[in-house]
Amino acid sequence: MGDTTTLDVRGMTCPLPVLKANKALRGLAPGARLAVLATDPAAVKDFQAYAEETGHALLEWAEEDGAFRFLLQRRATP
């Protein structure tokens, strides 16, 4: 289903991972996917809340070796 853009925000703390992801999503086409790599444990709740508030889909998230990977899909424009 097309390419996925990757955003590496490892080492950054709240609120920077979500702010940088928001900026990256604005530059993508509706339906495009963004993978975000983060190390801040607060990012889990932050991205869940971000998806609820914006309508972008949090398709999945996983944690491995202290790093988190979030897969977001940009919402379709209304």
**How confident is the prediction along the chain (78 residues), in pLDDT tens digits per residue?**
468 999 999 999 999 999 999 999 999 999 999 999 999 999 999 999 999 999 999 999 999 999 999 999 999 975
Q: Is residue 78 part of a domain?
A: no
For tokens 């490892």, what's the residue? Answer: 10
**pTM of the predicted model as reported, rounded to 2 decimal places:** 0.93
Q: Which domain holds residue 36?
A: 4-73
CATH number of domain containing 14: 3.30.110.40
Tell me if 55 sits within 8 A of 34, measured CB to CB: no
Question: What residues are labeled active site?
Answer: 14
Q: Give the residue from 13, 21, 29, 38 showing the smallest Cα distance to 72.
A: 21
Q: Cβ distance 68 to 11 under 8 Å? A: no
Of 77, 61, 72, nearest in space to 5 by CA = 72
Q: What is the total count of domains within the chain?
A: 1
Give domain status of residue 44, yes or no. Answer: yes
Strands 4-8 and 33-38, sheet pairing = parallel
